Amino acid sequence: MRVLKDLLKDGRFKFGFIVVCILLFLAILSFFSPYDPTRWNIFPRDLPPSTQHILGTNSKGQDVFWEATFAIRNSLIISLIAALISRIIAIIVGLVAGYSGGRVDRVLMSISDSFLILPLLPILILISSLIKKHLSLVSLGLLLSIFGWPWDARLIRAQVLSLREREFTYTSVLSGSSTLSLVIKEYFPYILPLVFSTIINNMGWSIGLEVTLSILGLSNLAIPTLGTTLHWAINYQAMLLGIWWWLLTPIVISVFLFISLYLLSVSISEYSDPRTRVQRIGLAKE
């Protein structure tokens, strides 16, 4: 995988990649957890880290380490669902609006802009306080995806608009290509890098929102995620009582997750930027 090899030469990508791999490993580890994450009082409460419990136990009587593996897994699942679905909506809207222009463009962008100006947090608070008992991972992911597409739709539309004016669009039309095949063959190589880096950005955004909602108590608190762990820790006055291992675990994991997602996003988007790709094309042979 030449692409991976090249990317690993970039220090930022290396760091982000290693951290994400570790977190993925921990997430997968959750499938082998000997304890049920929804059960309370399995262990004595508030035990500091020891050889038996690497990260100690929390006030609910659960092992912090194994809870954390579930938390990572669930947070990642929510953000992946949110990111993937909102990408699909953004790509379709952006492509159609950008290429068609005229009325279709204006209608789509009005819809997109309306979503953009909606005050996100109050609406999410409202919706989730109404249905929080029924919020599963998937439904939270879907909810976030409805609000995650407008920004990137406009980004993709902007790219399509500029591509439409370039001469190779005309060459492609003269070669007899239909609109759909033109967009897929000519424009996708430019749009996919955008999609890629915005997926990662979007994942960061969704995790952030999920943490916010959970801390406010507006998510399904039975499911362990980074946010709900924080919520419980705050609720049980972990900081005051000195149960730092419970509080710090989700914080440190979140910080590392955000940083590595950012580094991945930056290095991947630089690598896949058409301008640097053009530079690399000739070099591959020499």
Compute how many other C-beta atoms are within 10 angstroms of the C-beta atom of residue 159.
19
252-271 positions binding another protein, by CB under 8 A: 271
Q: Under a CB-based contact definition with an 8 Å cutoff, are residues 224 and 67 in contact?
A: yes
Which listed residue (107, 189, 239, 241) binds another protein by CB under 8 A?
189
Report the nearest approach of another protein to the CB of residue 230 (Å): 39
Q: What are the structure tokens assigned to 67, written together?
A: 């809870």
217-236 positions binding another protein, by CB under 8 A: none
129-168 positions binding another protein, by CB under 8 A: 166-168
Query: Alpha carbon of 140 to those of 38, 176, 209, 250, 276: distances in Å?
Result: 18, 45, 10, 19, 37
Report the nearest approach of another protein to the CB of residue 164 (Å): 11
Per the document, the length of the chain is 286
Which listed residue (24, 101, 185, 222) binds another protein by CB under 8 A?
185
Q: Which CB atom, from 2 or from 134, has the smaller least distance to another protein?
A: 2
Q: Is 171 in the site for another protein (CB under 8 A)?
A: yes
Q: Is 277 in the site for another protein (CB under 8 A)?
A: yes
Q: Is 176 in the site for another protein (CB under 8 A)?
A: yes
Q: Is 113 in the site for another protein (CB under 8 A)?
A: no
- DSSP assignment of 61-130, as one string? S-BHHHHHHHHHHHHHHHHHHHHHHHHHHHHHHHHHHHHH-HHHHHHHHHHHHHHHHS-HHHHHHHHHHH
For another protein, the binding residues (CB under 8 A) are 6, 9-10, 166-168, 170-177, 185-186, 189-190, 271, 274, 276-283, 286
